[in-house]
Amino acid sequence: MTSLRIPGPDRPDAPTGAPGDVVLQAVDLRKHFKLKGLGSRDVVHAVDDVNFELRRGRVLALVGESGSGKSTIARLLAQLMPLTGGSIRLHGEDAAVRNRRSFRRYVGRVQMIFQDPFGSLNPVHPVRHILTRSIRIHRGRLRGAELEEALVELLDRVQLKPAERYIEKYPHELSGGQRQRVAIARALAADPEVLLADEPISMLDVSIRLGILNLLQDLRDRLHIAILYITHDIASARYFADRTMVMYAGRIVESGDSESVTQDPKHPYTQLLVRSAPDPDDLEARARGARGEAPSLVKPPSGCRFNPRCPFATDLCRTEVPPLISVGDEREAACWGYSDRPDRPVLAPAGRGAERIETEGGAA
């Protein structure tokens, strides 16, 4: 059977490297959207000063509520929109695309899986056409037995077996989970080093979400693909991701290994996010959820952007942007409470931050 490691006509063999090697880097990413309107100079600060690395054979989760800038980051890394500032580096080199040819080389290595599997697949074409087009773009014009072998291999890889059952079907004839598997197979046709998964399970039935996450986990382990997993569900990040970054109002507020971030959150916003996760054993908390609204990104608050909702905020929090401060082994939190400044805020004991946010009116 034809291997997935087949370079396309415009792409030399990608560096193989070892698990854990840095593949893609985001360096000081910024994205501001200009507001439409005659004479308007206002911009939406969608993403500001975001830095992270995607490593071979590792999953990095990007977690945050709706409107925090997660999907914007995915589209920036996919180079579907221009940067306002910062850079994207592939294997340490500037990856900015300047023409169609360089964009084609880039997407041969960095592929995106979209949230809506029905909207991302052309409804007028069957699975055969969808996958064949991707194979020919990235692997050259395979024909006959070679093409059929590649099609079967892709469907087998995403556990759509036997391939004959699915290959002639149209998207509307497939379930949501099957459509998402086809979308993943289309991405794998490029033999990518990086998958950008933008909430890949949020539009699927709960009963099939775990199957898609297990599939992505298998791809990570077998092909050593670096994966950015974007989600608003911090519980799934703990299950699936090696590391988790928490994003709030366009900025990263906490990062670390997924177990530590979800079990011992340091930033007050992360504490609130963890507490807001549905708990079947605490129906009252599940019904209450998290209160409060994210700030306007047209005129974001000065200092820490979480300060209007945070009961621990001081004048320092309202005037100066906190850097990411070390709070443990390879863990960071953008909170002045962990600094050594004398005017720093005094945080609640671990595990009580979310309760104070809810009961003292910080998120009301």
At 195 the pLDDT is: 97
Strands (E), 225-352: 226-231, 243-248, 251-257, 325-328, 331-333
Closest CA to 332 of 216, 276, 254, 233: 254
The whole-model pTM stands at 0.87
At 55 the pLDDT is: 97
**Total number of domains constituting the chain:** 1
3-state secondary structure (DSSP) of residue 192? coil
Cis peptide before 162 (omega within 30 of 0): yes
Residue 321 exposed, middle or buried by CB count within 10 Å (0-12, 13-18, 19+) = middle
At 38 the pLDDT is: 62
Structural domain contains residue 326 = yes
The two tokens of residue 64 are 């945050």
DSSP letters, 214-238, are HHHHHHHHHH--EEEEEES-HHHHH
Distances (CA, A) of 358 to 24, 144, 273, 292, 313: 38, 63, 12, 9, 14
Distances (CA, A) of 164 to 128, 146, 167, 169, 178: 10, 16, 5, 9, 14
The two tokens of residue 8 are 């396309």
At 349 the pLDDT is: 64
At 194 the pLDDT is: 97
3-state secondary structure (DSSP) of residue 319? helix
Structural domain contains residue 101 = no
Distances (CA, A) of 223 to 154, 157, 227: 13, 11, 11
pLDDT along the chain (364 residues), means of 10: 42 61 96 82 93 97 93 96 96 92 93 88 93 89 87 94 94 92 94 95 86 92 95 90 96 97 95 75 44 81 95 95 95 96 83 49 40
Structural domain contains residue 345 = yes
Q: How far apart, in whole angstroms, are the C-alpha atoms of residue 339 and residue 323? A: 9
Q: How far apart, in whole angstroms, are the C-alpha atoms of residue 123 and residue 182? A: 13
What angle (nearest 5°) sits at the alpha carbon of residue 200, between those of residues 199 and 203? 85
Structural domain contains residue 280 = yes
Q: Which amino acid is at 227?
A: I
Q: How far apart, in whole angstroms, are the C-alpha atoms of residue 335 and residue 294? A: 17
Structural domain contains residue 91 = no
Structural domain contains residue 80 = no
In which domain, by residue range, is 280 found?
A: 265-359
Structural domain contains residue 286 = yes
Distances (CA, A) of 135 to 30, 78, 315: 33, 19, 57
Sign of the alpha-carbon dihedral angle for 183, 184, 187, 191 = negative
Q: How far apart, in whole angstroms, are the C-alpha atoms of residue 37 and residue 45? A: 17
Structural domain contains residue 125 = no
At 41 the pLDDT is: 82
At 258 the pLDDT is: 96
At 9 the pLDDT is: 41
Closest CA to 348 of 286, 265, 282, 278: 265
- The residue behind tokens 């193989």 is 16
At 203 the pLDDT is: 83
At 141 the pLDDT is: 77
